[in-house]
Amino acid sequence: MKKPELLAPAGDLERLKWAILYGADAVYLGGSLFGLRANANNFTLEEIKEGVTFAHERGKRIYVTVNIVLHNKEIPDLIHYLQALEEIGVDAIIVSDPTVISLAHKHTNLEIHLSTQQSTLNHKAVLFWKQQGVTRIVLGREASKEEIKNIIDHVDIEIECFIHGAMCASYSGRCVLSNFLTARDSNRGGCSQICRWDFKLEDEKQNVLEGEKDFTFCTKDLSMLEKIPEMIEMGICSFKIEGRMRSIYYIATVVNIYRRAIDRYFEDPKHVTYHKEEERILRNVANRDSVVQFFDGVYDESCQYYNGREEVSNQDFLGVVLSYDEKTNMVSIEQRNYFKPGDHVEFFGPSMDPVSVTIPQIYDVEGNELDRARHPREMIRMKVDVRLHQNDLMRIKRES
């Protein structure tokens, strides 16, 4: 059985490096043109080149989204952009408009993945795209496990599925709420997440059908952590994490947890267990509840935030390990959120299992003892008897 690729998002070069460092096999990103996240930082061609070099040196892959719905005026610039991406050496482009496929085939040898924006949910559609030279299909998020199995059984092509992150309330590509309510084009990178707004639901006589909370399209996030073994056994080729605009901590945490889940399966497929504590961490890091949704054929009210947002703490991220002195066991940490001696924390990183620690005495860079770490980005030093590494992260340890 082939190990699936763990595919992570990156909104900028720094996030790209953290994603790879924490275990992503591949990273997808948006260039400054033709992507679907206009308000993510996005990459210049020079930054894409640097990202590609960083990834390839570590045996990882880079995919670039070219997945906007094209308008006439954008066509002339597209060919040069595609050629530039090929020259840089990106491993694939992710597209939704078939004109991009045509032009990429005609003017480059770029590998092409079909974006979820096409909402591909059946094998007949998959077959068409395969015949057009697409090598991978990112399925629509509405696909159930039976549908995914059917598609894999019918067509020999790489199948990529989302495993974690925010969900569109609509079929991807079929929502233009942003266009109408904010004049931002949701299919050209301007989605302003109207699905998270509140509305009044009314009957035809404008009587409000009032619940305790207003009507909203808002859905919970997706989490497939407990389904990872099943997804591996189905032969899904790539597991995709959503969220090019997410923080470094989010990317490191989510990638790390899924990396470990995939690796655990391949170490001992018969005795793999689902770690509820990891699920809790995933929920905390996103500050949103997450559920399985369409994979199990469930898309009822349990998948939505009709009950108002269940706010949970997003202050878990406490610091980044800058260095560790093995002789003195002193660790230098860049503070990201408030902590103090006596707090129960956890270190985690790409090369270690999470380790629980009680914060000992803490010091500033000049060796002055502190009663708490209260200043963001302040360097804190303390003694930790566990071997730590640069870029390990420290988070709150919560009781299960």
Partner 1 sequence: MTKYITTYNYLKETKSYADGFIIGIKDLTVNFSGVYEIEEVVEMIQKLKEEQKEVFVALNKNMHEEDLKYLEDTMKTLDSLDITGILYYDIALVTIKMENQLKTPLVWAQEHLTTNYMTCNYWHQFGADYAYLSGEITMDEIIEIKENTEVKVMVPIFGRLPMFVSKRHLVENYLHYFHINTNTKNFQIEKEGKRYPIMDNKQGTVVFSSYYLNGLSESLVLKKHGIDYFYLNFDGIKKEWISTIMKNYVEADDENKGEYEKAIDELLEGNTDKGFLYKETVYKVK
φ/ψ of residue 175, rounded to 5: -125, 120
DSSP annotation string for 217-279: --BPEEE-GGGHHHHHHHT--EEEE--TT--HHHHHHHHHHHHHHHHHHHH-GGG----HHHH
Nearer residue to partner 1 within complex by CB, 278 or 289: 289
Does 79 help bind partner 1 (rule: CB under 8 A)?
Answer: no
Q: Which of residues 35-74 bind partner 1 (CB under 8 A)?
A: 38-39, 68-72, 74
Candidates 53, 201, 233, 277; binder of partner 1 (CB under 8 A) is: 201
Does 108 help bind partner 1 (rule: CB under 8 A)?
Answer: no
CB of 61 to partner 1, least distance (A): 26
Does 209 help bind partner 1 (rule: CB under 8 A)?
Answer: yes
Give the long-range contacts of residues 46-51, CB within 8 A, separation 24 or more.
47/12, 47/13, 48/85, 48/88, 48/90, 49/88, 49/89, 50/13, 51/10, 51/13, 51/16, 51/17, 51/27
Nearer residue to partner 1 within complex by CB, 201 or 352: 201
Candidates 29, 85, 90, 177; binder of partner 1 (CB under 8 A) is: 177
Does 202 help bind partner 1 (rule: CB under 8 A)?
Answer: yes
Candidates 181, 352, 365, 386; binder of partner 1 (CB under 8 A) is: 181
Does 136 help bind partner 1 (rule: CB under 8 A)?
Answer: no
CB of 128 to partner 1, least distance (A): 5
Candidates 67, 116, 187, 337; binder of partner 1 (CB under 8 A) is: 187
Q: Which stretch in 166-174, 256-264, 311-319, 361-369 sits in contact with partner 1 by CB under 8 A?
A: 166-174
Q: What is the enclosing helix (H) or strand (E) of 3?
A: none
Nearer residue to partner 1 within complex by CB, 75 or 352: 75
With a CB cutoff of 8 Å and minimum separation 6, the contacts of 269 are 229
Tokens of 1: 């059985």
Q: Which of residues 217-256 bind partner 1 (CB under 8 A)?
A: 217, 219
DSSP annotation string for 304-328: B-TT---------EEEEEEEEETTT
Candidates 180, 266, 274, 338; binder of partner 1 (CB under 8 A) is: 180
CB of 144 to partner 1, least distance (A): 8
Q: Which stretch in 59-67, 119-127, 372-380, 387-395 sits in contact with partner 1 by CB under 8 A?
A: 119-127
CB of 155 to partner 1, least distance (A): 10
DSSP annotation string for 357-377: EE---EE-TT--EES-B-STT
Q: Which of residues 340-399 bind partner 1 (CB under 8 A)?
A: none
Tokens of 13: 């070069």
* CB distance 13 to 43 below 8 Å: yes
Binding string, residues 280-319; x marks residues near partner 1 by CB under 8 A: --------------x----xxx-xx-xx------------
Which residue's structure tokens are 């407990």? Answer: 226
CB of 66 to partner 1, least distance (A): 14
Candidates 50, 86, 107, 179; binder of partner 1 (CB under 8 A) is: 179
Candidates 125, 166, 225, 393; binder of partner 1 (CB under 8 A) is: 125
* CB distance 113 to 95 below 8 Å: yes
Does 30 help bind partner 1 (rule: CB under 8 A)?
Answer: no
* CB distance 45 to 25 below 8 Å: no
Does 150 help bind partner 1 (rule: CB under 8 A)?
Answer: yes
Number of residues lying near partner 1 (CB under 8 A): 76
Rg (CA), the chain: 22
Report the candidate in 358, 348, 156, 121 with the shortest Cα–Cα distance to residue 237. Answer: 156
* CB distance 329 to 384 below 8 Å: yes
Helix, strand or coil, per DSSP, at residue 165: strand
Does 116 help bind partner 1 (rule: CB under 8 A)?
Answer: no
